[in-house]
């Protein structure tokens, strides 16, 4: 008799059931159950890494200075929490074509240049394709080890034989391992492959980057199941039509999760952007209606974003609300508040909102900017181009305070802005700005009156 076990696993939360279910009883998602068949032998092998778990008392545990590996790519090191931790597993997710492979090859090239041995395992591209990419990046004469392989056993053999310091597996969805009946890319395979790679990493102290494609819903295939197995999860985001790329940490066992790294995709690969505000505001049209600048926080970094709104008379019964880069539900909410609390009628208008540069953000501080941009376009009045604004808008039309006011103001001042509308409650208390005039606002209608007259 064959020792196999069949269970059904939810692709969203990982819960198990003995039979197929249309809706997951634990996370409520529909159609996420997938059949999983595996042999018992394989199940034993994929246990989590042994951590040398001797019983000890917490006050006896000695913490040495973590010896992190700095790649020299500052934006990447920052997102990792100050460099790569040896023996850690980093999942790098993102849409196809966004630049994951490019980033990974550049990271390995940087490490290789520092004298560390690296290995690039590709299940998607041939050695020639990798060579061609490395030529664009100027990394073609580095002795980075290349392995085009999708069978995990071969990868493990290569890793154990050569013992590199860092390994890229591109992508985890193309890899397969024995003992799992389902096809590469299926939830079961991806999870099993990842579990074994994590095990290998912990056992050898080698750092792994696992590249993962993102599904249509915006999650890495086998999403949460994979995310909780690895140490760090990074998302590489951006709009393919724009050169701007943002690397964001969504989970990090070795650092903060709200750091971002900013890159620009050029002909010769990704280059670091140390002053994103400047790049983002470069193409800003001055003194036009519907355009505002908002100092946003991305982790510990301030970034000035240009928000654009266009309100155009609609010929549709239900006017369109199209948003790019901001949450459309949030915009609907703000539109309702504008109509009810500030008397601006938008029911007959199609609304289009865009964050310039292909950036995505969901910071509440953006609210006042969204409202300002929509009102500016709908009333066809401009907001002076030396003015920035930020603040959260509440359902009764009140403007609520936000955090890190000083950092936002400093960034705006540095970029040459001279006036800022901000929540009245955020005024005072250290918000000393020499060259900016600060206008505290309490309600939405007050803010719009002062902004647009």
For residues 113 and 136, which CB has a smaller minimum distance to ligand TYD in the complex?
136
Rounded to the nearest 10 degrees, the angle between the axes of helix 127-137 and helix 100-113 is 70
The yes or no reply on residue 267 touching ligand TYD (CB under 6 A) is: yes
In the complex with Mg ion, which residue's Cβ is closer, 101 or 189? 101
Contact between 136 and ligand TYD (CB under 6 A)? Answer: yes
- Name the residue nearer to ligand TYD (CB basis): 209 or 352: 209
122 forms part of the interface with Mg ion (CB under 5 A): no
C-alpha angle 350-355-357 in degrees, rounded to nearest 5:
135
Using CB under 6 A as the binding criterion, the count of chain residues that bind ligand TYD stands at 15
Closest CB 167 distance from ligand TYD, rounded Å: 16
Give the binding range for Mg ion (CB under 5 A) out of 86-94, 96-104, 147-155, 224-232: 96-104
Q: Which CB, 101 or 207, lies closer to Mg ion?
A: 101
Q: How far apart are CA 360 and CA 5, in angstroms?
A: 43
Figure out which of the listed residues 113, 133, 301, 360 binds ligand TYD, where binding follows CB under 6 A: 133
Which residue in the set 111, 265, 366, 420 belongs to the binding site for ligand TYD (CB under 6 A)?
A: 265
- Please tell me whether residue 173 binds Mg ion under the rule CB under 5 A: no
Contact flag: residue 98 with ligand TYD (CB under 6 A):
yes
Q: Does 101 bind Mg ion (CB under 5 A)?
A: yes
Among 28, 74, 96, 416, binds ligand TYD (CB under 6 A): 96
Shortest Cβ distance from residue 137 to ligand TYD (Å)?
6
Query: For residues 120 and 421, which CB has a smaller minimum distance to ligand TYD in the complex?
Result: 120
**Which chain residues interact with ligand TYD by CB under 6 A?**
94, 96-102, 133, 136-137, 265, 267-269
**Which chain residues interact with Mg ion by CB under 5 A?**
101
């Amino acid at each position: 008799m064959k020792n196999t076990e069949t269970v059904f696993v939810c692709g969203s939360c990982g819960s198990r059931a003995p039979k197929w279910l249309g809706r997951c009883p634990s996370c409520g998602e529909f159609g996420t159950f997938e059949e999983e068949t595996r042999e018992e032998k394989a199940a034993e092998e994929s246990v989590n890494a042994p951590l040398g778990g001797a019983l000890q008392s917490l006050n006896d545990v000695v913490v040495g200075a973590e010896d992190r590996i700095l790649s020299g790519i500052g934006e990447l090191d920052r997102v990792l929490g100050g460099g790569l931790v040896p023996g850690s597993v980093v999942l790098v997710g993102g849409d196809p074509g966004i630049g994951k492979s490019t980033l990974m090859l550049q990271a390995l090239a940087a490490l290789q240049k520092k004298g560390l041995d690296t290995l690039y395992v590709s299940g998607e591209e041939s050695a020639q394709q990798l060579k061609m990419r490395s030529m664009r990046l100027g990394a073609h004469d580095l002795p980075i080890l290349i392995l085009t392989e999708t069978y995990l056993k071969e990868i493990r053999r290569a890793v154990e034989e050569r013992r590199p310091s860092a390994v890229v597996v591109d992508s985890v969805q193309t890899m397969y391992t024995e003992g799992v009946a389902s096809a590469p890319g299926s939830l079961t395979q991806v999870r099993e492959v990842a579990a074994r790679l994590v095990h290998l990493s912990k056992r050898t102290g080698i750092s792994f980057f696992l590249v993962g494609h993102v599904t249509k819903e915006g999650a890495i295939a086998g999403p949460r199941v994979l995310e909780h197995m690895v140490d760090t999860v990074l998302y590489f985001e951006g709009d393919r039509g724009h050169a701007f790329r943002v690397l964001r940490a969504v989970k990090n066992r070795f650092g903060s999760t709200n750091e971002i790294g900013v890159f620009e995709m050029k002909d010769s690969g990704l280059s670091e952007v140390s002053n994103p505000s400047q790049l983002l505001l470069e193409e800003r049209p001055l003194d036009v209606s519907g355009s505002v600048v908002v100092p946003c926080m991305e982790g510990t970094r301030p970034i000035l974003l240009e928000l654009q709104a266009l309100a155009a008379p609609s010929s549709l019964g239900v006017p369109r609300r199209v948003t790019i880069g901001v949450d459309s539900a949030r915009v609907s909410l703000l539109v309702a508040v504008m109509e009810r609390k500030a008397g601006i009628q938008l029911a007959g208008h199609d609304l289009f909102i865009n964050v310039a540069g292909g950036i995505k953000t969901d910071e509440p501080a953006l609210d006042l900017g969204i409202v300002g941009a929509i009102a500016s376009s709908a009333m066809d009045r401009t907001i002076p181009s030396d003015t920035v604004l930020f603040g959260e808008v509440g359902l009764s039309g009140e403007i609520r305070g936000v955090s890190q006011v000083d950092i936002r103001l400093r960034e705006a001042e540095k970029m040459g802005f001279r006036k800022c509308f901000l929540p009245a409650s955020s005024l005072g208390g250290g918000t000393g700005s020499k060259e900016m005039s600060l206008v505290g606002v309490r309600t939405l209608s007050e803010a719009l009156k002062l902004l647009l007259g």
